[in-house]
Structure 1
Amino acid sequence: HIGWKEVHDDVDSSEAQKSFASETLKQKQEHLQTIQQLKKTQDDYQIETVSFEEELEHLSSQLVDDENFEKKKVYDQRLLELKEKRNLFDKMKTSFEQEA
């Protein structure tokens, strides 16, 4: 009767009822813990999502359009050909100088 102003004689105070109330409270506490864990997981996922969105935005800003990509490939190919021609020219020059 501690904390009650009135005595409630009509309340079932059997061991079965006490056990049921105890089990119900235990389940409620477990559910509250589960909810807290889910909220924390949701917060973690939200932080991770923001991080991924920022990374995606950063990477998207670095993308090169197809036209510039093709130009770069052509440039690289021409540069390679020029280097090969220079090497060939240097070899021919060296060979010519040795003969002279």
Structure 2
Amino acid sequence: PSSTPLTTKYYLEKTANMSREQYTPPSLSQQGQASGSGTGGFNITGQGSTFEDTSKPVHYLCGDCDNKVVLKKGDPIRCKECGYRVLYKERTNRMIQFEAR
């Protein structure tokens, strides 16, 4: 038994006798097919992603009049009440845990 994962072993056997011109890099769909269960490779489903949804509006506080300002992507960065352009992002309600070393 070798320590090489099955997907890597399959890929190495497939590309061993191939010239540089014939080589095509594996795509995400090929890796999903080669791994079978999807455990070895990229997480294509999007679950566990650390990126936040960009379509959600973001809440800010105006630096001049302390008014709450809600902005979506593409909105001008400006207070809707006084026109001030310095906005402070509100703290998140999500629990954030920092690791001390």
TM bucket, shorter chain: under 0.3
- Higher RCO (CA 8 Å, separation ≥ 6 residues): 2
The alignment's TM-score, normalised by the length of structure 2, stands at 0.21
Q: State which structure, 1 or 2, has the greater radius of gyration over its C-alpha atoms.
A: 1
The alignment's TM-score, normalised by the length of structure 1, stands at 0.21
Relative to total residues, which structure has the larger strand share, 1 or 2? 2
Relative to total residues, which structure has the larger helix share, 1 or 2? 1
